[in-house]
Chain A
Amino acid sequence: HPHSRPRHPGVSTMLPLLLLLLPAAHGIAPLGYRPALTKDPQLEGVKTASTFVVDQPRCVFQNYSNAVIWLVVALNQAASTFNNSAGPGTSETAFQRFPDPVRAYMTLNATLGSYPCPKPDGDIAVLRVGSETSCIRDEMRPSCNGPLPGPGPYRVKFLALEGSVPVAETAWSVPITLREAKPSSTISTTGSGHSPGMIAITTILSILFAILLAGLVAMLFFWGSDSCGSSSTFSKPESVTVRRYNTHHVYDQPAARL
């Protein structure tokens, strides 16, 4: 082997970068948890056109009982550039100014007491991002959990703040893209074709009707004529009775005169 151990190609650039970031990241503990869309239970509304549902961070912030846990919602591209020191409830992170000029906002603040650990069985522990519609335009409520303005994609993470100092953060979620509604004109209502039953009814009835018409024509055409020897087949009820002639009566007369 030419090398005694494999060397990561980027390790030479990684080290100075880490050294640079270390003072800046002083104090924020990265938690391994990654927020995700709720999979259990299966929710029909896990993603709608302007809301989505993530699991609550249960048993994640156990060491931070004094912290307030915020949810950071960011545009996909703005996730990597989010400044953890940006204070919640300021215009820098106000929902009302999202997505332009504010590219990430903070909302859904809660203390550890709202996320008891362990989660009791049967409880549905979810957070619906976008459920508050009353404060969409209320500038006095910058931490409004308002409906998302577009399909995204968005990324979220949880950030724990003690006072105004960030102390812990989770990883960013994978990009979440919301549902987009198609216009109803895309529904094609034409050309389901004709069912075989309908075709059968039409053809058979047409044939029967044609036969009947032909029969009627034949009937009327042969009205006048005694055709096919069928004229006397069915006699009327009040039929003429044939009288019998007594032949003897005729020959008796001349004998009487002589």
Chain B
Amino acid sequence: MAKSDDCAHILQGLLVFGNVVIGMCGIALTAECIYFVSDPHGLYPLLKATANSDINAAAWIGIFVGLALFALSILGIIGVIKASRTLLLVYIILMLITFAFEMASCITAATHRDSLTPEFFLKQMLDRYQKSEPANNSDSEITKAWDELMLQNHCCGVTGPSDWQEYVSEFRRTHSDADYPWPRKCCVLDAQGLPVNLDGCKLGVPGYFNSNGCYDAISGPANTHAWGVAWFGFAILCWTFCVLLGTMFYWSGIEY
């Protein structure tokens, strides 16, 4: 009896420890997803306009899953210490539901991240930046987001200013090629927001315009966002898997 008592105590201890870790990771996941939903880089308008899954949905699911994990971990600790079959059964079933939701969130985040190619942003920018009759609110939001992006990161277009030359764009329809080979925001601006040398910018003299593309400035935070949700969620789920297996084993060994 003593040996199985020790076994029991060790397993209880491990399960309690596992649940404590799940609780803390749940809080961390909630905090991380709240940070992503708050969109500190102002990229949400660009990422919103997609035909397939929404990276923000994954973050929202992550917030609620994190809170659920925290609550369930407390339930699990109580159930393990009291060795109550009912409590632990409820715990296991609710945990499986949470597992399924978090799985959906991870896969959504990873899939959406794969669709954020330069071509995707290029097409969106050409079709909607400075659209003369904005069809809906999102067009003017995209224009504002791009202006802010080009201003803050000193970049132009997706791969460079040549994007505006190589492709027909909505911008080109209202701004003549001779006056605006690329938008004014691509020029090096002074403190008042006016180009330092407009002719130099229009000619493309190095130093008076921004020659690098904005794709790195977009994909960097978007990647962090997606992989933060996807891989952290994956790690939590692997740990949860082990804890749940141990709980199932513990549950089947409780006498009733």
Q: How far, in whole Å, are A230 and B119 apart by their CA atoms in the complex?
A: 60
Q: How far, in whole Å, are A126 and B179 apart by their CA atoms in the complex?
A: 17
Interface residues of B, Cβ cutoff 8 Å to A: 1, 4-5, 7-8, 11, 82-83, 92-93, 96, 99-100, 103, 106-107, 110-111, 113-115, 117, 119-120, 122-123, 126-127, 161-162, 165-169, 172, 176-179, 181, 199, 202-206, 209, 211, 227, 230-231, 234, 237-238, 241, 244-245, 248, 250-255
Chain A positions within 8 Å of B113 at CB level = 195, 198
Q: How far, in whole Å, are A208 and B178 apart by their CA atoms in the complex?
A: 60
- Chain A at the B interface: SS class: loop
Cβ distance B172 to chain A, nearest Cβ, rounded Å = 7
| Selected contact of B206 from candidates A41, A181, A197, A202, CB within 8 Å | A41
Q: How far, in whole Å, are A126 and B241 apart by their CA atoms in the complex?
A: 69
Q: How far, in whole Å, are A61 and B214 apart by their CA atoms in the complex?
A: 45
Q: A208 and B238 in contact (CB under 8 A), knowing A43-B203, A45-B204, A195-B114? A: yes
Q: How far, in whole Å, are A51 and B177 apart by their CA atoms in the complex?
A: 8
Q: How far, in whole Å, are A126 and B167 apart by their CA atoms in the complex?
A: 26
Cβ distance B118 to chain A, nearest Cβ, rounded Å = 9
Cβ distance B181 to chain A, nearest Cβ, rounded Å = 5
User: Would A182 and B111 count as touching, CB distance under 8 A?
Assistant: no
User: Would B237 and A44 count as touching, CB distance under 8 A?
Assistant: no
User: Would B245 and A215 count as touching, CB distance under 8 A?
Assistant: yes
Which residue on B lies nearest to A50, using beta carbons? B177
User: Would A215 and B106 count as touching, CB distance under 8 A?
Assistant: no
Q: A42 and B206 in contact (CB under 8 A), knowing A181-B165, A189-B123, A205-B106? A: yes
User: Would A187 and B119 count as touching, CB distance under 8 A?
Assistant: yes
Some 22 contacts from A to B, beta carbons below 8 A apart, are A51-B177, A132-B178, A179-B166, A184-B123, A184-B126, A184-B167, A187-B126, A192-B117, A195-B114, A197-B230, A205-B107, A209-B100, A212-B99, A215-B248, A227-B252, A233-B253, A234-B8, A234-B11, A234-B250, A234-B253, A235-B255, A236-B83
Cβ distance A49 to chain B, nearest Cβ, rounded Å = 4
User: Would A131 and B111 count as touching, CB distance under 8 A?
Assistant: no
**Interface residues on chain A, number (Cβ under 8 Å):** 59
User: Would B172 and A233 count as touching, CB distance under 8 A?
Assistant: no
Interface mask (A189-209 → B, CB under 8 Å = 1, otherwise 0): 100111101100110111011
Q: How far, in whole Å, are A184 and B169 apart by their CA atoms in the complex?
A: 7
User: Would A46 and B120 count as touching, CB distance under 8 A?
Assistant: no
Chain A positions within 8 Å of B5 at CB level = 235
- Let me know if A231 is at the binding interface, CB within 8 A: yes
Q: How far, in whole Å, are A133 and B114 apart by their CA atoms in the complex?
A: 43
User: Would B83 and A237 count as touching, CB distance under 8 A?
Assistant: yes
Q: How far, in whole Å, are A147 and B177 apart by their CA atoms in the complex?
A: 8
Interface residues of A, Cβ cutoff 8 Å to B: 41-46, 48-51, 53, 124, 126, 128, 130-133, 146-147, 179, 181-184, 186-189, 192-195, 197-198, 201-202, 204-206, 208-209, 211-213, 215-216, 218-219, 222, 227, 230-237
Cβ distance A193 to chain B, nearest Cβ, rounded Å = 8
User: Would A49 and B177 count as touching, CB distance under 8 A?
Assistant: yes
Q: How far, in whole Å, are A44 and B202 apart by their CA atoms in the complex?
A: 9
Which residue on B lies nearest to A49, using beta carbons? B177
Cβ distance B179 to chain A, nearest Cβ, rounded Å = 5
Which residue on B lies nearest to A232, using beta carbons? B255
| Selected contact of A233 from candidates B7, B110, B167, CB within 8 Å | B7
| Selected contact of B176 from candidates A45, A133, A188, CB within 8 Å | A133
User: Would B252 and A222 count as touching, CB distance under 8 A?
Assistant: yes
Find the residue from A179, A184, A192 having the highest chain B CB count within 10 A: A184
Chain A positions within 8 Å of B106 at CB level = 201, 205
Chain A positions within 8 Å of B99 at CB level = 209, 212
Chain A positions within 8 Å of B1 at CB level = 235
User: Would A126 and B203 count as touching, CB distance under 8 A?
Assistant: yes
User: Would A188 and B203 count as touching, CB distance under 8 A?
Assistant: no
